[in-house]
Structure 1
Amino acid sequence: MPTTAPAARTSTARRTRTSSARRDDEAPLIPILARKVREVEAKAQRGKLGPTNRVKFQVIAFLVREERARVKADAELTDGARSELLKRLDGVATILAKTAARDTSLIQLLEVDQATSPVAKRMRRDWLLESGAELPADELIITDAAPAKATAALVPPQLAERQVIPPQVEARQMAHPFLAPDLALRAPRETPRRRLDGWELMGPLYKAFETGAGGGSACMELPPVPEFDRLSPKGLEIMPHQSRFLEAVREGHRSFLLADEPGLGKTAESVLAASVADAYPLLVVVPNVVKMNWAREVERWTPQRRATVIQGDGEDIDAFADVFIVNYEVLDRHLAWLGEIGLAGMVVDEAHFIKNLTSQRSRNVLALAAGIRERMSHPLMLALTGTPLINDVEDFDAIWRFLGWTNGTKPEPELMERLDETGLTPADKAFYPAARSAVISMGIVRRLKTDVAKDLPDKLVADLPVELDDEYGRSIRQAERELAQRLAARYRRIVEARGDRGLAIGEIDEDVVRLVAQHELDESKAAGSGEDNVFSMVRRIGQAKALLAADYAVQLQRSVGKVVFFAKHIDVMDAAEAHFAAAGLRTVSLRGDQSATSRQAAIDAFNNDPGVSIAVCSLTAAGVGVNMQAASNVVLAELSWTAAEQTQAIDRVHRIGQDEPVTAWRIIAAHTIDTKIAELIDSKQGLALRALDGHAVEPGSSDSVQLSALMHLTRSALGAA
């Protein structure tokens, strides 16, 4: 690809438009660039500028310079036409500059010599062909750079000093100084050239899931239920949907995104999968709160195997165990010895925790996974999450890398082969459902409770509006009005300063509404717990609802028995616990500052002690890895900012072992922003329904709930619906 402006002019001079180019568009590439830059801008506004869109930004910047050079040099253009085309190119460049100002890491991508990767070259070529340009043969064929033979060190330099080697690990290494070689590994053969090698494929793959192309649930074809259950230990029985998954492992499949809805037994499936695949030693990376539960599940489902939980520097671990369980927070100090112990499999629980590829947590997990795949020909790799998509379909990126399906810029050979077998390209509409099916066949397993657990009752989310009619409640509504008026005033100042730009009377400029809301959100995050921002307002609403929600939980408990009470803030939990104590009810509490032992004791007491009536739980600390099916009613005293967090909380009760209908009672403060937040949370379910479950749900906004709520306040203050 050209890397200088003169070279760009030389390259573009070779391009000629076909006779089919429309007469009314002297530069058919410009509308394509305008469309693409708007796509990138929209992603940047939502803070979701993933690797694909960064490359897209890069290529747009390059082609703007290239096209400007071509327009200036085109002697056939009149001065007026040339001026108009340059003006349009300036518009695209302006959007690029504004996007870079929003995300300053993009500034370096504006450099001319940045767009040199094979992915960028393919993207540039495809857009030029779409515009009707004819390219020379040397620009049509794009080859990938040869992969580097040496891989990056497992332990980055900044973590080298933190590495520990527990004494027991040294004993194991002395007892087994040599790892058994994996004879299935062979020197890598030259990959044959495939038809899709020249195409940029990551963007189309994400699009295939974002649109739910082809419909249908995202679940690979699984074997039928075996006639006999040969896996469960005495006294236990696996369910049919678990048996089908384990049969796939028995038949040789080794990499899975296990995305079953929460509560369908992913932990037990993973433990048994390791036994079926004989994937020992097995590493399990989990949130801190579920380490003890994982150890118990290993003992329960595979009593012949030993599990050890890594705490701190690991002084007390059993280095001769079969299963090593470590939480994300301490993984960084154990990378060295884990990378040398001969792991044959790896499980990442709550795999959406690694979606941020810039975090050290994600880099640690991906480095270990890459090391395992280098040493083993067919390791067992399991990514577990009931909510793989939080805000954007590119949340798949890190999970697919962990599983070895893609490397972030293109599919790995096995997936590439399956895509190539479709006989289609991204230029074909039929490619998208075929591509989605190809990725699913790699090992996505997604089952819904209503589909596979017929004896598991449905769950109902019921909203209970409450009126904040005391002085505190009135002060909250007044603060909300003042915030809305401040947002509206800022909107009016911007519109007046720039002119109405052709807006009809009463029409609202959504771009300005978004700008105002984003500015307020950024200020609110910087201010923290101030008295006049959206975060402090929502917290005050939670405080105002605390006793109302607690009182309802008391009434509910007297009617139905055990109740799980969820809140987001400690002061709301404290107020609720005091109210329950005054009512003579025994409670247990699950909070973020508890030890694993006391936490498990509280869970056991709630499930097994008839005298314990209510579990008071933190939304953030008790939303995963907790089984509380002794109750069938949940009270959500405060709303989360994400649909996934709410779902995880409800599914602590709605899971295998539950034999009663489950109802979650959301306490909503009427006539406040609380009502809108509940509506926005519900709307966020659409992404997973489209991408994973194949439902025909209209695409909604992928803006954060906070931003959408502030935009709603702004519109309301301006008199819009």
Structure 2
Amino acid sequence: MAQRAARRGGATQASSRDRRRSDTRDPRDGEGIIPVLAKTVRQVEAAAQRGKIRPTQRTAYQVVALLVREERARVKTDATISEAERTNVMTRLDGIATILAKTAARDTSLLALLADGATVSPTAASMRNDMLRAAGREVEEEPEPEPEAESGELPAVATRRAVPATVIARQLANPFLAPDFSAARTPRPATNRLASWELLSPLFRSFEYGGDATSMPLPEASEVVHGIKDLVLMPHQAELVGAAADGHRTFLLADEPGLGKTAQALLAANAADAFPLLVVVPNVVKANWAHEAALWTPRRTATVVHGDGDSIDGFADIVIVNYEILDRHVGWLGSHGFRGMVVDEAHFIKNKTSQRSQHVLALSERIRERIPRALFMALTGTPLINDIEDFRAIWQFLGWIDDKKPRPALMAALEATGLAPSDPGFYSAARTAVINQGIVRRRKVDVAADIPARRVADLPVELDGAMGRSIRAAEAELAARLVERYESTLAARAQATSLSGVGGGADSGAFVDGIDLGLVRRVAAAELKNTGNGVDKGDNVFTLMRKIGQAKAELAADYAAQLARNVGKVVFFAKHLDVMDVAEATFAKRDIGYASIRGDQTPKVRKANIEAFLEDPSVSVIVCSLTAAGVGLNLQVASNVVLAELSWTSAEQTQAIDRVHRIGQTEPVTAWRIIAAQTIDSQLAQLIDDKAGLAARALDGSDEEVGSSADVQLEALVSLLTDALEKENATSAAGTGVSGPAGDAAAEATAAPLAAPSVSPFSPFSPFSAS
């Protein structure tokens, strides 16, 4: 094996040189950062020639200029490329810089965006990440971690702070806050048995084991809605409002999407008199929250913070702010005197090192210091994204734990069990104790029988032609690269063992019978770590999935068009803009009316497109971005969803489907996942389904087998490498005539024909039939 690895190493070096000659720096290649920058700067140039540069295009101009600077600096210091290649790339970058200069000559106000110290808005940062992803580079979703702040201390940030004038007027009008003596009602531990125990890890593990309880005890639903007339609550909604009226003040509201969490939060705040109320939400649902506040709490005024907040009402009862601009408003928000705080899509704060998580946690501490029994609500239909410890930041926001241990109320509940982590039954009792702090989890099938069932149907498609061959070649190349690393590591291990004079026994670690799964995971992790840093040439797992999405785009759009003609309106979801472009072109060619929801649209355009899909019979399909339309939309007019691309998380897939499967839906909902047969796409679909099992077990007490909690990207690479090694071993066994079970299995694996793609038995027609 070591000799085979050495031979392959020489061949791979040669192929690496060949790939480097045809990588993103070749001007004939359509991949990489330079074509993305060139396309964008041409669009801005065209707008300048028309004399109509919109704010979005100004932002694009700034982002292109910044990326050109970064790319020039990177290429200058990249020792892995030749001088000829470096000259080629620098020439192309100079061409983009020339277009930037000509555009600035037409509109000199653009020069201010390039000055030292020019503000880079959150929109610009998001656009920069989108361009890097479009170039096949992986980017960090979060900014660099800030130093941990002390309890209640707001993190320091580089961006400027804003204090709206009306907020100052309110502070002058109300210089003192009324005293609050509610802390006396907080339970205190009666004993001190658990003081020396490390309790956070056992608490998290208690949710891995599942259990009977899924929700805290709630009072019976009351027909009376506090202060609200002519509105009807569903029983499960009224139960939570009743709990707030009875004095409960912390809730992890983890109802499945579509069960009305926004209404419950607003009415709970009304029942608890938790005004002024701070609501932190994703940008796309700010307007929806203001609309819901006017509907459910009409006696309370709501204000939405945009930009520096110049237009907000500082005297409003409900202040709605989005995560992206929280950094510039944390100063006055922390001293505004809020009596309650709601965090919508609370899984956004799962990464405690991110700046937005630190701001949310610090604000909750500031509010808790002033109002010990303030109302805190974390809303999310998908609280578990990757791991059980995604709970940590949410629990800390709610005041159940701090960085090291449970807080008094939870500690009192744990002490009351009379058990320690070493005792049988502790995990079940601890899980119940945490749930009783305020976890509320209801499923549609249990509390909303009038909402029809939903199902996910996979539609395998064959990728034919040049695109299909290119994808299969790219996947094979990625697998070969992983196998090469695996075998070279084994060879190095064997050589080190030989030089040290240690035998090849079981304790040496040099040899493993069969595939070394530990080494497989390390090789996959190294590949994921190197992704996007220029170490490896060729496709990585992210660019490979993007190519698969591009190849599936027209097939998925054709299927959506057939659905629209046969069963009515359809919601089409894609992850990348170029996939959306292909889908829209296909619908236009098929004479199918469509609207679209994208991240770069103005609120006015977004609203008009949604209304067109909901109200115009001629608009049969709405083409949605997974990131821009995954939350905050009610599209119950459709009952069919087409998922053209797979996400990296089951949560994102669930959120997309639940734009249709929610209160008000009258028909069974089907989500059609378009899967590229005989590619990594099918493995990714299985991994996503495994992720869904994790949430089912942790929150719903399900006995369903829990999939791995590691990142799906890593698991996809592990699966790809394992399959490649098994095929190689099977081929070797067949070629050497190995007999016995191993040889028989290898021969069977080699001889097994590929399964033909199948259409879901529920589908009334084939996705391959002519339109």
Q: Same fold (TM over 0.5)?
A: yes
Structure-2 separation of matches of 1:640 and 1:529: 24
RMSD across aligned positions (CA): 2.2
Report the Cα offset of residue 546 of structure 1.
0.4
Report the Cα offset of residue 216 of structure 1.
2.0
Report the Cα offset of residue 584 of structure 1.
2.0
Structure-1 separation of matches of 2:308 and 2:657: 34
User: Does residue 1:651 correspond to 2:654, yes or no?
Assistant: no
1:77-109 deviations in whole A, cap 9, x for unaligned? xxxxxxxxxxxxxxxxxxxxxxxxxxxxxxxxx
CA contact 1:586–1:614 (8 Å) conserved in 2: yes
Residue in 1 aligned with 2:267? 272
User: Does residue 1:620 correspond to 2:627, yes or no?
Assistant: yes
Residue in 2 aligned with 1:219? 215
Structure-2 separation of matches of 1:342 and 1:594: 35
Secondary structure of residue in 2 paired with 1:298? helix
Structure-2 separation of matches of 1:623 and 1:401: 26
1:700-711 to 2 correspondences below 5 Å: 700-711=707-718
AA partner of residue 216 (structure 2): M
Cα separation, partners in 2 of 1:396 and 1:564, compared to 1, 3 Å: same
Report the Cα offset of residue 717 of structure 1.
1.3
Report the Cα offset of residue 303 of structure 1.
1.4
Report the Cα offset of residue 610 of structure 1.
2.4
Secondary structure of residue in 1 paired with 2:384? coil
- Equivalenced residue count is 568
1:529-548 to 2 correspondences below 5 Å: 531-548=538-555
1:191-340 to 2 correspondences below 5 Å: 193-212=191-210, 215-229=211-225, 232-234=228-230, 236-340=231-335
User: Does residue 1:687 correspond to 2:682, yes or no?
Assistant: no
Residue in 1 aligned with 2:96? none
Secondary structure of residue in 2 paired with 1:718? helix
Secondary structure of residue in 1 paired with 2:456? strand
CA contact 2:183–2:373 (8 Å) conserved in 1: no
AA partner of residue 447 (structure 1): R
Structure-2 separation of matches of 1:719 and 1:695: 33
AA partner of residue 320 (structure 1): F
- The unaligned stretches of length 5 or more in structure 2 are 1-148, 495-503, 728-748, 750-771
Structure-1 separation of matches of 2:577 and 2:461: 21
CA contact 2:155–2:362 (8 Å) conserved in 1: no
Structure-2 separation of matches of 1:506 and 1:183: 67
Residue in 1 aligned with 2:673? 666
1:511-549 deviations in whole A, cap 9, x for unaligned? 111111111112224349974211111111100000000
1:423-466 deviations in whole A, cap 9, x for unaligned? 11111121110000000000000001111100111111000000
Residue in 1 aligned with 2:378? 383
User: Does residue 1:567 correspond to 2:566, yes or no?
Assistant: no
AA partner of residue 305 (structure 1): R
Report the more deviating stretch, 674-683 or 493-502: 493-502
Cα separation, partners in 2 of 1:528 and 1:585, compared to 1, 3 Å: farther
Report the Cα offset of residue 190 of structure 1.
9.3
Report the Cα offset of residue 497 of structure 1.
2.2
Cα separation, partners in 2 of 1:636 and 1:165, compared to 1, 3 Å: same
CA contact 2:252–2:378 (8 Å) conserved in 1: yes
CA contact 2:573–2:645 (8 Å) conserved in 1: yes
Structure-1 separation of matches of 2:292 and 2:536: 40
TM-score by length of 2: 0.71
Secondary structure of residue in 2 paired with 1:719? helix
CA contact 1:328–1:361 (8 Å) conserved in 2: yes
AA partner of residue 678 (structure 1): A
1:39-89 deviations in whole A, cap 9, x for unaligned? xxxxxxxxxxxxxxxxxxxxxxxxxxxxxxxxxxxxxxxxxxxxxxxxxxx
User: Does residue 1:483 correspond to 2:482, yes or no?
Assistant: no
Residue in 1 aligned with 2:409? 414
Cα separation, partners in 2 of 1:542 and 1:195, compared to 1, 3 Å: same
1:655-686 deviations in whole A, cap 9, x for unaligned? 11111100000000111111111111111112
Structure-1 separation of matches of 2:223 and 2:596: 43
Residue in 1 aligned with 2:528? 521
Structure-2 separation of matches of 1:556 and 1:420: 57
Structure-1 separation of matches of 2:153 and 2:290: 26
Structure-1 separation of matches of 2:560 and 2:188: 65
Report the more deviating stretch, 393-402 or 478-487: 478-487
Structure-1 separation of matches of 2:685 and 2:536: 22
Residue in 2 aligned with 1:697? 704
Report the Cα offset of residue 177 of structure 1.
2.3
Secondary structure of residue in 1 paired with 2:522? helix
CA contact 1:154–1:339 (8 Å) conserved in 2: no
Structure-2 separation of matches of 1:606 and 1:195: 60
Report the Cα offset of residue 504 of structure 1.
8.4
CA contact 1:641–1:681 (8 Å) conserved in 2: yes
Cα separation, partners in 2 of 1:440 and 1:191, compared to 1, 3 Å: closer
User: Does residue 1:601 correspond to 2:608, yes or no?
Assistant: yes
Structure-2 separation of matches of 1:247 and 1:186: 22
Residue in 2 aligned with 1:104? none
CA contact 1:529–1:536 (8 Å) conserved in 2: no
Structure-2 separation of matches of 1:151 and 1:506: 51
Report the Cα offset of residue 713 of structure 1.
1.3
Structure-1 separation of matches of 2:233 and 2:513: 61
Cα separation, partners in 2 of 1:304 and 1:268, compared to 1, 3 Å: same
- The unaligned stretches of length 5 or more in structure 1 are 1-149
CA contact 1:603–1:627 (8 Å) conserved in 2: no
Structure-2 separation of matches of 1:673 and 1:231: 55
CA contact 1:347–1:382 (8 Å) conserved in 2: yes
TM-score by length of 1: 0.76
AA partner of residue 628 (structure 1): L
Residue in 2 aligned with 1:556? 563
Structure-2 separation of matches of 1:682 and 1:529: 30
CA contact 2:226–2:271 (8 Å) conserved in 1: no
1:162-173 to 2 correspondences below 5 Å: 162-173=160-171
Percent of aligned pairs with the same amino acid: 60
CA contact 2:157–2:327 (8 Å) conserved in 1: no
CA contact 2:410–2:437 (8 Å) conserved in 1: yes
CA contact 1:217–1:446 (8 Å) conserved in 2: no
CA contact 1:634–1:650 (8 Å) conserved in 2: yes
AA partner of residue 308 (structure 1): T
Cα separation, partners in 2 of 1:636 and 1:157, compared to 1, 3 Å: closer
